Amino acid sequence: MRREIGSEWIKYKRSAVPWIIALVPLGICGIIMMYGRGGRGASWTLTQLFDKVGAIWYGALLCFFWGLLPALAAQLEAGSGRWSLLRCRGVRPGRLYISKLLVIVMHTAISTLLLIMLLIISAKLLGVTDSPHLWAGTLAAIAAGWLASLPLLAISLWLAEAFGWPIATGFGFTGIIIAAVIGVTSLGNEIWMLLPWTWPVRFSYTVYQLVIDPANSEFSYASVGLRFAAVLLIFAAISALSSYWFGKREVR
């Protein structure tokens, strides 16, 4: 599997993927800096900075880009006919598919880490000083949002391979609307667990509240842990089923 992942990683060096990974977090923190330097940043707290990240990233852009990245990955193979060439070799198709998915997961992890680093720099430049406890809650919430987004990547890659990259991109674009309406408002309080587009924003705010003020949190650590376990099981199940499907399909 290491060889397949290494080969997959090299493919994206001259594609748009590295630019997306780097520029999206940079753009988010650029917006934060723009607001801060405009005169409103002097009194900002870390909670307000996290609210900006939650609204811009988890509440909107993440769903779109988590659909776009798998779409680009699938189109890279389809446009060049590489899937057909790779499957002529003695490697199981399922391993090729899983290696592609794992590389996409690593790309999103790098983008999330970059977002965290740029957020720390932005907070320092804006003079935001808060306790280590608040920082722990913020960093844990951002990581939780990424973890909760993994099923979106698995679904998007399958859609891209099964129906083409426009469908996967449309899936992500649809998530912008659902995450903005259902994920960040009270309209989705009863149904958000049924909509994977809302999981990143909902899980991030849930973890933030739980770490910062567990006494007033709606959820306990045990219940949140069970929900995360369910999300990871869903990701694993979708990955396994789509890998099996890919191994049986005829590559054009």
Per-position DSSP letters for 171-214, written without gaps between them: HHHHHHHHIIIIISSGGGTTTGGG-GGGHHHHHHHHHHHHHH-G
Q: Please write the tens of the pLDDT for every residue from 165-176.
A: 899 999 999 988
Whole-number pLDDT of residue 41: 43
Q: Please write the tens of the pLDDT for every residue from 206-224.
A: 999 999 888 888 888 999 9
User: Alpha-carbon distance 44 to 37, whole Å?
Assistant: 11
Whole-number pLDDT of residue 90: 58
**DSSP state for residue 250 in the 8-state scheme:** P
**DSSP state for residue 216 in the 8-state scheme:** G
157 band by pLDDT with thresholds 50, 70 and 90: very high
SS3 assignment, position 217: coil
What is the mean predicted confidence (pLDDT) over 145-162?
Answer: 94
pLDDT, mean over the chain: 85
Record the tokens describing residue 206, joined without a space.
Answer: 């849930």
Record the tokens describing residue 241, joined without a space.
Answer: 């089923």
**Burial group, residue 139, by CB count within 10 angstroms (0-12, 13-18, 19+):** middle
Angle between helices 150-163 and 165-178 (to 10 degrees): 140
User: Alpha-carbon distance 237 to 178, whole Å?
Assistant: 23
Q: Are 142 and 53 in contact (CB under 8 A)?
A: yes
What is the mean predicted confidence (pLDDT) over 127-136?
Answer: 83
What is the mean predicted confidence (pLDDT) over 181-199?
Answer: 85
Q: Report which of residues 118 and 36 the model is more confident about.
A: 118
Q: Please write the tens of the pLDDT for every residue from 23-65.
A: 999 998 888 888 776 554 456 778 888 888 888 888 778 889 9
pTM: 0.90
What is the mean predicted confidence (pLDDT) over 122-132?
Answer: 82
Spans of all domains in the chain: 1-248
Q: Which of 99, 71, 78 shows the shortest CA–CA distance to 6?
A: 99
Q: Which of 227, 198, 224 shows the shortest CA–CA distance to 211?
A: 224
Whole-number pLDDT of residue 61: 84
Whole-number pLDDT of residue 48: 83
Q: Is the pLDDT of residue 15 over 90?
A: no
Q: Please write the tens of the pLDDT for every residue from 74-111.
A: 888 765 555 555 555 556 778 889 999 999 999 999 99
User: Alpha-carbon distance 17 to 81, whole Å?
Assistant: 19
**DSSP state for residue 38 in the 8-state scheme:** I
Instruction: Please count the other Cβ atoms lying within 10 Å of the Cβ belonging to residue 182.
Output: 21
The 3-class SS string of 85-148 reads HHCCCCCCHHHHHHHHHHHHHHHHHHHHHHHHHHHHHHHHHCCCCCCHHHHHHHHHHHHHHHHH
Percent of all residues in the chain with a pLDDT value above 90, rounded to a whole number:
44
- Burial pattern 75-98, b for ≥16 Cβ within 10 A else e, equals bbbbeeeebeebbeeeeebbebbb
Q: Is the pLDDT of residue 189 over 90?
A: no
Which of 85-94, 116-125, 226-235 has the lowest average pLDDT?
85-94
Instruction: Please count the other Cβ atoms lying within 10 Å of the Cβ belonging to residue 39.
Output: 8
